[in-house]
């Protein structure tokens, strides 16, 4: 069965370190998205991609980057982790907006 | 003004009752509307989508859309304790190719 997987499920890192969160989907969806979810803010868009070599900034992109070298993967990198980036991160993919998104299981990141 | 607004709740209903969840949106060009259910500690899962004005029913769930009023709702009939979750409204604003999410409404169904 097709799926979307995120790793790691939990991560604790120190302030200033570079961290990469993985997202891998086997749906063959062109569209992939990264969101963060915080109490009181709901899901906020970080970066998104509509295909290989295409990346775009979302609402809260400062301090984050992504790259898309193939259809299956969209890794999210925190260049220099900050305590404000402690959050739950969700990756999602979609064949087109009319179909909504399928979400991964999430990564809980704690920056200490 | 937030683009997609939901009452944060918590909303409590007794088992067997109808739960009504509401969402308003600001972009009149919005095309597609989605309801996601999120259990605590889990990822959101799509439960309903609606594109046209009116009602759409799927089992115990009914989505209602009124584009003139910029309003979308989700009704859950015969609510069960297993329906206790946070419900997220998501909107395709039409001007962009990503969904915008509301902050969610926490629903508790009391046995």
- Pick from A49, A93, A96, A97: which is nearest to A69 by CA? A49
Residue B38 pLDDT:
97
**A97–B88: do the CB atoms touch at under 8 Å?**
no
Q: How many whole angstroms separate alpha carbon A96 and alpha carbon A69?
A: 20
The answer to whether A29 contacts chain B (CB < 8 Å) is: no
Cβ contacts of A48 on chain B, cutoff 8 Å: 98
CA atoms within 13 A on the CB side of A74: 33
Residue A52 pLDDT:
95
Residue B26 pLDDT:
92
Q: Quick one: pLDDT band at residue B2, thresholds 50, 70, 90?
A: low
Please check whether residue B16 is in contact with residue B35, taking contact to mean a CB–CB distance below 8 angstroms. Answer: no
Cβ contacts of A42 on chain B, cutoff 8 Å: 88, 101-104
Mean pLDDT is highest, among A23-37, A91-105, B93-107, for: A23-37
**Paired sense of beta strands A76-78 and A64-66, if any:** antiparallel
Count of beta carbons in the 10 Å neighbourhood of residue B53:
11
Count of beta carbons in the 10 Å neighbourhood of residue A16:
10
The residue behind tokens 């918590």 is B10
Mean pLDDT over residues A67-88, rounded?
97
| Residues A44-76: tens digit of each pLDDT | 999 999 999 999 999 999 999 999 999 999 999
- Residue window 87-106, chain A: list those with CB within 8 Å of chain B: 90, 97-106
Q: Which residue of B has its CA nearest to A43?
A: B101
Residue A58 pLDDT:
93
Cβ contacts of A23 on chain B, cutoff 8 Å: none
Burial of B14 (C-beta count, 10 Å sphere; 0-12/13-18/19+): exposed
């Amino acid at each position: 069965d097709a799926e979307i997987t995120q790793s790691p499920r939990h991560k604790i890192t120190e302030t200033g370190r570079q961290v990469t969160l993985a997202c891998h989907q086997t749906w063959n969806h062109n569209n992939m998205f990264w969101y963060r979810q915080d109490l009181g803010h709901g899901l906020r868009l970080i970066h998104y991609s509509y295909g290989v070599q295409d990346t775009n900034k979302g609402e809260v992109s400062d301090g984050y980057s992504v790259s898309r070298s193939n259809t299956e993967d969209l890794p999210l990198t925190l260049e220099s982790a900050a305590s404000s980036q402690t959050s739950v991160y969700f990756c999602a993919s979609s064949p087109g907006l009319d179909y909504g998104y399928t979400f991964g299981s999430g990564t809980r990141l704690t920056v200490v | 003004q937030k683009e997609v607004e939901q009452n944060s709740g918590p909303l409590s209903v007794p088992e067997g009752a109808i739960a009504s969840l509401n969402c308003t949106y600001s972009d009149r060009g919005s095309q597609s509307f989605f309801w996601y259910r999120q259990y605590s500690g889990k990822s959101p899962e799509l439960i309903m989508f609606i594109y046209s004005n009116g009602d759409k029913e799927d089992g115990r769930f009914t989505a209602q859309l009124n584009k003139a009023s910029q309003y979308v709702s989700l009704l859950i009939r015969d609510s069960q304790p297993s329906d206790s979750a946070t419900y997220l409204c998501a909107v395709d604003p039409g001007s962009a190719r990503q969904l915008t999410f509301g902050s969610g409404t926490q629903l508790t169904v009391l046995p």
